[in-house]
A and B are shown apart, each in its own frame.
Chain A
């Protein structure tokens, strides 16, 4: 089961294929059926329908008040933020920055992840502000399965956005109690400093007893494209589906640096491809 209980299961299934872009857009624009609207927001992001009317409707959905979860959260806003992260239109960055102040934790998390994908440094000050109070303030919300802020997403976004001005804010999170938060800080600091000793910390995590920690370190190494970790990723004890995604990250970041496809495959690229073949 484990292989398919990952988020990637959400992209499978006949239902997803049967909707057309026109129907999905219509479903997103109507307000009578909240379920259809919620699903359409996901679908349009998944199939990357980046038409102006979709962008406009998704931005509107970021301020939706009608779809409320039992916990007071905003399911449609969460999906709309995630979708906007996939559509690559940077004009939505200010709207997503506003979502970082939403009182729903999951909207803030989705917005931080979307801002990371869109890659616009404009988001840095607002993301950095969420680290206010440092590790001392980064505590769990009583009765909830999460901390007061989506620190993983915030740290990862700051790393990807090249927020070197935030290095001193990020460094203390290496010592946060939650291992995944430590990983996110480690990964960001590698991206911001280029110091490979940070990656070696993540590689060591691949030997942890806890499967969740191994998965988290593996996905971080894939996200930052750390080539020397390829063998360690291929041999850690985890499901092949996730190893393949992590190795894809490592491979593609190397391919971009070596100007593939206009240049030939390097020996390093061939090495990673052989590792991936064995996991199919």
Chain B
């Protein structure tokens, strides 16, 4: 595999076009998955628009391949993902948020915060809550990171009271990750631990309680 962040331009134009054509002409869901996997494996920035388009097809296998391809391309895919986030196709939106969450680029923070707070679809809130915990904080200056982390903590704490168990589960996972990366541990860690303890003791869903227990155990060891 070539380094996705620095694709060499020479000679790759034709193959990517061919791989894109294979997606356009795929005649079954299985063929589509193979074609998307091939395009994702090329790790070429020219593949980004097509990979994003695939997120809107009703084909989870192909969407998984496209998300993985976009995630491997990393920050190079972020501007296009932010620009093309689909406001009306919830399936596509969930996958795009998932790709942004996997990439962890702080430029996605406003979208992730807004989405975790109030998106209509639980799968989208879930992906956003998870993504808020896995931002690559060193990419921001410490003072900006501190302000952003306060927002993240507030939104994730709210999300531990979401009506859907899987969003609460993702919020707990996000809080654990935030505690590990906090730039203001003295201020934030007690708040995070209190929130996790509340989920462990009071959540109505056993799986969420278990995730909170895992977070508390892990943080106690650090």
CB–CB A237/B211 < 8 A: no
Q: A239-B60, A280-B130 are in contact. Are A252 and B94 (CB under 8 A)?
A: no
Of the residues A8, A239, A240, A260, contact of B210 by C-beta under 8 Å: A260
Q: Is residue A117 contacting chain B, with contact meaning CB distance below 8 A?
A: no
CB–CB B214/A270 < 8 A: yes
Of the residues B33, B122, B169, B213, contact of A265 by C-beta under 8 Å: B213
Shortest distance in angstroms between B169's beta carbon and chain A's nearest beta carbon?
A: 7
Shortest distance in angstroms between B25's beta carbon and chain A's nearest beta carbon?
A: 20
Of the residues A2, A13, A245, A269, contact of B58 by C-beta under 8 Å: A2
CB–CB B210/A237 < 8 A: no
Residues of chain A within 8 A (CB-CB) of B217 are: 264-265
Of the residues B91, B120, B205, contact of A1 by C-beta under 8 Å: B91
Residues of chain A within 8 A (CB-CB) of B56 are: 1
Of the residues A8, A14, A248, contact of B120 by C-beta under 8 Å: A14
Of the residues A17, A240, A256, A270, contact of B123 by C-beta under 8 Å: A240
Chain A contact residues: helix, strand, loop or mixed: helix
User: B15-51: contact bitstring with A at CB < 8 Å (1 yes, 0 no)?
Assistant: 0000000000000011001000000000000000000
Q: Is residue A56 contacting chain B, with contact meaning CB distance below 8 A?
A: no
Residues of chain B within 8 A (CB-CB) of A170 are: none
Please, how many residues of chain A have a CB less than 8 angstroms from a CB on the other chain? Answer: 36
Tell me the chain B residues, 78-106 only, with Cβ under 8 Å from chain A: 89-92, 94-95, 98, 101
Residue of A nearest to B167 (CB): A280
Identify 12 new A-B residue pairs, CB closer than 8 A, beyond the known A237-B61, A245-B166: A1-B58, A4-B121, A5-B91, A237-B64, A252-B206, A260-B209, A260-B210, A273-B214, A276-B207, A277-B130, A280-B101, A280-B170
- 17 pairs from A and B in contact (CB 8 Å cutoff): A1-B90, A1-B92, A4-B94, A4-B121, A9-B121, A239-B60, A241-B122, A248-B205, A248-B207, A251-B210, A261-B200, A264-B213, A265-B214, A280-B127, A280-B129, A280-B169, A280-B173
Top 10 nearest A-B pairs (CB, nearest first) are A1-B91, A280-B130, A239-B60, A237-B61, A3-B123, A252-B206, A4-B90, A248-B207, A280-B170, A1-B58
